[in-house]
Structure 1
Amino acid sequence: MPRLFTDTRQALGTATTCILVFLVALRLVSLAGYPLMDTTEGRYGEIARKMAERGDWITPWFTDGTPFWGKPPLAFWLSAGSMQIFGANEFAARLPHFLMAVAIAVLTFDWARRAGMRRPAYVLPLLATTVLFWTVSGAVTTDMALCLGTVLSMRSFWLALQGPAEHREREAWLFIAGLWIALLAKGPVGCALILLPAGAWALWTGQARRVWQAVPWMRNGVLLLALAAPWYVLAEIRTPGFLDYFFVGEHWNRFFVSGWQGDRYGTAHAFPRGTIWLFLAGAFLPWSIVVPLAAWRTRRKITSSPTDGADTDARRSFVLYLLACGLAPCVIFTAAGNILWTYVLPSLPPLAVLAALWLNDRDDGVARRLLLAGTLVAIVLFAGWLLDLTTGGRAEAKSAKAVVQLYRTQLRAETPLAFVQERMFSAAFYSGGRALHIADPLQIADKRPQEPLFVAVPHSVLGQLPQALLPCLQVAGDAGSYRLFLRAPCTEPRLAMKSHGDASQEGRGGEWRN
């Protein structure tokens, strides 16, 4: 009978491992399976493409004439470097973010192992199959770079205090390396996500003196500034005004001024105060449901030592530290209204370690069944999501890739392409920065009126096209959420529109290239 139980546990573990490996492979393959979507992926992908094209590694550019002051450049450096190797495509743009996700999973596993967890591998499915982590691991954002910095510092801070004596100096250096990554991924808010929970834990557990002695704060702080400050200084020199916008606008107004109108690059995201906690519950799915249910059902079935090889005080201290790190984003952004659900990504590694610590106290068979059930739920969710993106048309509806491809099939490369009304950054990415922009349908006739022009019009805007212009428009086809027209040189519609009082509108249309 014991042999049967052993075989069953091994089979459960093998099944979970196979599913996890399949999910990782599926995520890697999917990187090239659907287009960059607006606004986030299209925006950051185009910024990285411009960086690679220009060779300007100091200033990220929003458009050819507008610098992007919203984020530091680390994520753009990585995607731009990948594009220089693999070309300007979805796979190249997303690959660095996938690799950072793999690095985060490895660091989280190593954290659990070095902290003395009996089965540290439990953290891998708990982290990799969360909805947010899996999604962002294949998305062009700045959040995975931030998460890499936070998990490196969180792990290294703990090991600089609790790890083997011969490794503590190394961990102290790695702690500063994580802060450097956070500073160049998101800025001071990244450091706050690391330092605030560490400080709160030190004060709560009465270990402030030990923390001060374990890490050479002054020496390493000077080194951190010496490594991070040069880019900030150069960015201000190249484009004056950056520091004021970045530190005041992005790090105060964005979070504490609901509906902030000073955003130079989009629209502020206004949510009720405290919404970040709901984002965390959604981001940690399916485990935010599976683990609490399992805890209720198995509340009397603890079979291993509650200290897991350490004394009770040390374990309690570790749990408090994991909670402080895992809940820090929610605490920091509770009062913020302008937030996104990706802000809780740094919460997931420490919460995965905490959940794995809880599972280590359960019967091995119960723990493995729970992990298998969660990964099965995850694979169903993720497979359905990918199927919807690739075959359901949802990705195409949020991207300009399909209509740019339709434009290229027209075999008229000398005829420019313009997008009407919506400023789709994916249009700039897929057109190599050559797509034009027309802000108002009434200005279609005014854009290069003496030459032919392909015009991509969103289906939602077709009813706003002036009747006088229709004779000059030849339908080339539909693609994604656009209808592509070939506009012949035509002056009469322009005169007709002006006779309806539109003369004052002339000149408002612009190009994405300045």
Structure 2
Amino acid sequence: MNFKQMEGSKSGFLSKENYIFLFSALAVVYIAGLFIPLMENDAAQFSVMALRMHQLNDYVNLVKGTEEYLDKPHMHFWLAAFSYKVFGVHDWAYRIPALLFTVLGAFSTFGLGKLLYNKEVGRLAALIFVSAQAIILANHDVRTDAVLTGATVFAIWQFAAYIRHRKASNIILGAAGMAVAFSTKGQIAVFVAGIAILCDLIYTRKWKVLWSWKVIAGIITFFAFSAPMLYAYYLQFDLHPEKFVNGKYGNSGVWFILWRQSFERLAGERGMQENSDFFFFHHSFIWAFLPWSLITFAAIFNGVKRLIKAKFQYKNDLDFLTLGGFIIAFHVFSLASFKLPHYINILFPLAAVITAQYLYRLFETAQDGIARIVLIAQYVVVGACVLLLILLNIWAFPIDNIFLGIVYVLLLGLVLYLTFARKALYQKIILMSAWLIILVNFMLNTNFYPKLLEYQGGSEIAEMAKDKNIDPESIYILEGRWSRSLNFYLQQETPSLSLEEVRIRTDHDKDLWIFGYNKQKQMLEEAGIKFKEELTTMHFMCQR
């Protein structure tokens, strides 16, 4: 059965008006997330590294605190520094590139779904992508993953279009997108895009597309767009073998990014926390791809079953690009010794297309019995999420804004209405799930996270210092106990003093402020160093 022929053959799936309302509401959620204080560690750390670039006009050297940084490549930091230059140094300005690349990722996911199936699958895939929990999270707790994901799915879409249409523009755009992704986080982008496209070539048997001058043009484009990052690495590390970085001398930045980086993470080298749990990403995916993750598991099972039944023969209503790309990459990641949940974000566009085509196929083939089982699973998701919202926003951090409280009640009422109302089966599954995640993240972004981050000491102390008009240049940290959020909101790399240096300076400086935690305060007291005034706040690590 050909999805492209079936498009528009039935009504009652999801109207354009529904898409407009959903994307508009999600835009509000994303915009609300722009103004949350930056969280430690990575988001605050990366924002300060980009701030250093901006303040010193040094776009070659990556520096973390006082140390040379050889891990993530330059693109994320360049984009953030450029955003500071355009908009000024603000936490929301740091997040703008992530938001723009998420928009690119949504558009590319739509394009990929439309290319492989039809426009309806593309629309739903884009909706699923931007409403996935970890994608929303990645736009306020901004690391490198939003830029990486958007650029990678753009590359996959363009390469897949080249395989089908053989246009030079597609392979050149794809190569440029992959170069941006590679310059953001390294080989993982090339691996994911490469696996997906290899799976597509194996399934479609269109190997002849590789024997063309256009492929050579694509390779040249990839290295041309990667050249600024490679050259910056060459200047910072290859020309300076005397630098002691990552525990050794003689580092080659170019060799590191072209070969060593991902293997270090796979092996858990350089003191990276080892996580040998093979199923870590499997259970992380359940929350990270909410509210769609349970449907995705069913979609993957169904897709594999249909491929086996078809004996891997090509069919228009099947694709191996998303299914094979997702399964293979996901399980290769699971073999790594170093794992964090956001490492699988790059696969979410593929998961979105897999899920969208599954729901659309259930609809078009009138498999209402299976769809009712899917609906029951989504009832469980709704119940669990609403219960968690009550715990977080009523018990842990009570709502104290009347206007926001009214909005929360209205959104909750809409979710409950969609849960219990008699509506078309497939509309109910999609609308209930999407509005649920809108409710969840609007409450998180406007109530939970702002209140949680009142317990992040660095950003809170920076705000207190501004209120008291304390000169940031008079603030130091004790014994290298860094706070990246303090540095960002003071807009400086706060210098460190030893205990002896503090003792000497207290005899000469009239205005000396020391930032520290309980341990540092105890060190000062035991050394007999007295302080005239104290600014205090509670501090807890708000994330891992």
Give SS of 2:532's match: strand
Partner of 1:324: 324
Partner of 2:245: none
Q: CA deviation at 1:216?
A: 3.0
- C-alpha distance after superposition, 1:321-374 (max 9, x if no partner): 111222343233222121221111111111111111112123373222111111
Q: CA deviation at 1:460?
A: 6.5
- C-alpha distance after superposition, 1:178-236 (max 9, x if no partner): 22112211122221111123224434x37262342368333321332233234313422
Partner of 1:347: 347
Contact 1:403 1:479 in 2 (8 A): yes
Partner of 1:70: 71
> 1:130 and 1:194, CA in 2 relative to 1: closer, same or farther beyond 3 A?
same
Contact 1:117 1:357 in 2 (8 A): no
Partner of 2:126: 124
Partner of 1:31: 34
Give the aligned residue type for 1:50: R
Q: CA deviation at 1:292?
A: 5.3
> 1:399 and 1:324, CA in 2 relative to 1: closer, same or farther beyond 3 A?
farther
Partner of 1:152: 154
Partner of 1:281: 286
For structure 1, the residue ranges without an aligned partner over 5 or more in a row are 1-5, 262-267, 300-305, 307-311, 483-514
Q: CA deviation at 1:399?
A: 5.5
> 1:389 and 1:67, CA in 2 relative to 1: closer, same or farther beyond 3 A?
farther
Aligned ranges for residues 98-497 of structure 1 at < 5 Å?
A: 98-119=99-120, 120-163=122-165, 168-203=167-202, 205=203, 207=205, 209-213=207-211, 216-239=214-237, 240=240, 241=251, 242-243=253-254, 245-246=256-257, 250-257=261-268, 260-261=270-271, 268-274=272-278, 275-290=280-295, 313-315=314-316, 317-318=318-319, 320-363=320-363, 365-392=424-451, 394-398=452-456, 400-413=458-471, 416-420=474-478, 422-438=481-497, 444-445=502-503, 449-451=507-509, 452-459=511-518, 462-463=521-522, 465-467=524-526, 469=528, 472-481=530-539
Percent identity over the alignment? 15
Give the aligned residue type for 1:99: L
For structure 2, the residue ranges without an aligned partner over 5 or more in a row are 1-9, 241-250, 308-312, 365-423
Moved more, 371-380 or 248-257: 248-257
Root-mean-square deviation over aligned CA pairs: 3.2
Q: CA deviation at 1:172?
A: 1.6
> 1:378 and 1:417, CA in 2 relative to 1: closer, same or farther beyond 3 A?
same
Contact 1:329 1:346 in 2 (8 A): no
- How many angstroms apart in 1 are the aligned matches of 2:25 and 2:274? 38
Contact 1:127 1:352 in 2 (8 A): yes
- How many angstroms apart in 1 are the aligned matches of 2:267 and 2:322? 27
Moved more, 460-469 or 382-391: 460-469
> 1:230 and 1:456, CA in 2 relative to 1: closer, same or farther beyond 3 A?
closer
Give the aligned residue type for 1:286: P
> 1:138 and 1:257, CA in 2 relative to 1: closer, same or farther beyond 3 A?
closer
How many corresponding residue pairs?
Answer: 447
Greater fraction of residues in strand: 1
- How many angstroms apart in 2 are the aligned matches of 1:247 and 1:159? 27
- How many angstroms apart in 2 are the aligned matches of 1:389 and 1:447? 41
- How many angstroms apart in 2 are the aligned matches of 1:293 and 1:180? 34
Give SS of 1:361's match: helix
Contact 1:417 1:453 in 2 (8 A): yes
> 1:415 and 1:74, CA in 2 relative to 1: closer, same or farther beyond 3 A?
closer
- C-alpha distance after superposition, 1:2-45 (max 9, x if no partner): xxxx99766x774564243112122113302x211111011110
Scaled by the length of structure 1, what TM-score is found? 0.78
- How many angstroms apart in 2 are the aligned matches of 1:442 and 1:388? 43
- How many angstroms apart in 2 are the aligned matches of 1:400 and 1:453? 17
